[in-house]
Amino acid sequence: MKKNAFYAQSGGVTSVINATASALILEARKHKNIGKIFAGKNGILGALNEDLIDTSKESISAIESLQSRAGGAFGSCRFKLKDFESNKKEYKRLIEVFKAHNIGYFFYNGGNDSADTAFKVSQISKKLNYPINCIAIPKTVDNDLVLTDCCPGFGSAAKYIATSTMEASLDVKSMAATSTKVFILEVMGRHAGWMAASSSLARKNKGDAPHIILLPEVIFNQKKFLGQVKKTVSRNGYCVVVVSEGLKNNKNKFLAEADTKDAFGHAQLGGVAPYIANLITDKLKMKNHWAVSDYLQRSARHISSKTDLDQAMEVGIKAIQYAVKGMNGVMPIIVRGKGKKYTWKIEPAPLSKIANLEKKLPKSYISKNGMDVTPKAVEYLQPLIQGESFPKFKNGIPEIKDLKLVEVKKKLGPWT
């Protein structure tokens, strides 16, 4: 019997997550045993609230246009399903919605916490006697999912960070004689320094910016850092610092931790760049500027990596193929080929070995002084930012096509 599918986007979005959605929907339309693809409005909340978008109402051209659209076309969320035993109500509600709309396939597109949610959903077919094939689809600019060589979304963010670092460093260098001596760029990365490390790709020659990279894997040493800044300015006339938002002090506390937490219980980070800037002003009396790339680094579709875009689409295609084969509780991961020439393929991996785990920078990727990365890290990172796939432009800016976003008629009462 033909079953419908549920697809949702979760967590912080990327510049290529919609490309995954596009590929998945188009691939699903090729399979006779899949009925309609319902997209959850605002992630898993779309299932709980029975807010389902009927993607069959969208034309092929509209779905294809998602490949060049930033953000999350169907809305995302930060919502963590509790353990089954502590909150059976949520899971029973999911089953009610699935039954009401004949949903037999569940696709959840996200990062670490999303993989956990997908793994939990994959278990309910046994616990609540409802057949469903659940596939988690990788997505995160943090690049911290285990098993997969890289995460869709990361390569494009890395390309943006490397480009921004290079361009900003040229700006600072041109004014350093009479103005700014130090520039600080803050990038995402709570526990893993992949994004900060990617700034190293801005270098063309020895001595090029970034001159200092501060990683969350390395405890911040204030004295050592200030000494390096002073030495760099003395040598080059200026210094460019790239710092990960998750930088910690010797008490293992975030330098910029705020008093609030997000829906997953993670501490909200208040901005480490101004902290570093104030330190340089107070201790070294050097004029400096800082910037936080924030949402810009993850939403810059105009400079996305073609390699990243291709991988984002391929995991969406494979997710459908795995589901129709009857797979459950797996994720399509990227496997890097051996040899000097960069190659990759997609293989399934069990969610039980991915959920709630985190991949940090290996020690072999971090320099001895702890404020830079090694050639081995650059060798890993370089292929991921290769290629361009510019969106179409209209009136000077990227052209975005609107979706109809037709919602399915609800069959159940409201969820509380």
Provide the H-helix boundaries in 254-371: 272-284, 294-299, 306-324
What domains can you pick out in the chain, each with its CATH number?
3-140+303-357+387-398 (3.40.50.450), 154-301 (3.40.50.460)
Question: What angle, rounded to 10 degrees, do the helices at 306-324 and 17-28 form?
Answer: 40
Digit-by-digit pLDDT tens for the chain (416 residues) are 799 999 999 999 999 999 999 999 999 999 999 999 999 999 999 999 999 999 999 999 999 999 999 999 999 999 988 888 888 899 999 999 999 999 999 999 999 888 999 999 998 877 899 999 999 999 999 999 999 999 999 999 999 999 999 999 999 999 999 999 999 999 999 999 999 999 999 999 999 999 999 999 999 999 999 999 999 999 999 999 999 999 999 999 999 875 444 444 555 556 899 999 999 999 999 999 999 999 999 999 999 999 999 999 999 999 999 999 999 999 999 999 999 999 999 999 999 999 989 999 999 999 999 999 999 999 999 999 999 999 999 999 999 999 999 999 999 999 98
Residue 113 known to be catalytic: no
The C-alpha angle with vertex 216 and arms to 214 and 217, in degrees rounded to 5, equals 105
pTM: 0.95
The C-alpha angle with vertex 246 and arms to 135 and 77, in degrees rounded to 5, equals 35
305-328: pLDDT as tens digits: 999 999 999 999 999 999 999 999
Exposure class string for 197-215: b at 16+ Cβ within 10 A, else e: bbbbbbbeeeebbbbbbbb
Per the structure block, which two tokens stand in for 118? 């997908």
Q: Which single residue is written with the structure tokens 């984002």?
A: 312
Provide the H-helix boundaries in 246-398: 272-284, 294-299, 306-324, 375-381
Query: What pLDDT does residue 267 have?
Result: 55
Query: What pLDDT does residue 259 have?
Result: 46
Query: What pLDDT does residue 87 have?
Result: 85
Q: Which of 113, 142, 149, 372 is catalytic?
A: 142
Per the structure block, which two tokens stand in for 190? 């709570």
Q: Would you put residue 237 in left (φ > 0), alpha (ψ -120 to 50) or beta?
A: left
- Phi/psi for 356 (5° steps) reads 65, 15
Q: HSE (CB half, 13 Å, CA atoms) of 119?
A: 19
The residue type at 339? G
Contacts 24+ apart (CB under 8 A), 54-60: 54/406, 54/407, 54/408, 55/7, 55/25, 57/404, 57/406, 58/25, 58/403, 58/404, 60/26
How many C-beta atoms surround the C-beta of residue 300 within 10 A?
Answer: 20
Query: What pLDDT does residue 270 have?
Result: 62
Instruction: Please count the residues of the chain.
Output: 416
The C-alpha angle with vertex 17 and arms to 166 and 192, in degrees rounded to 5, equals 55
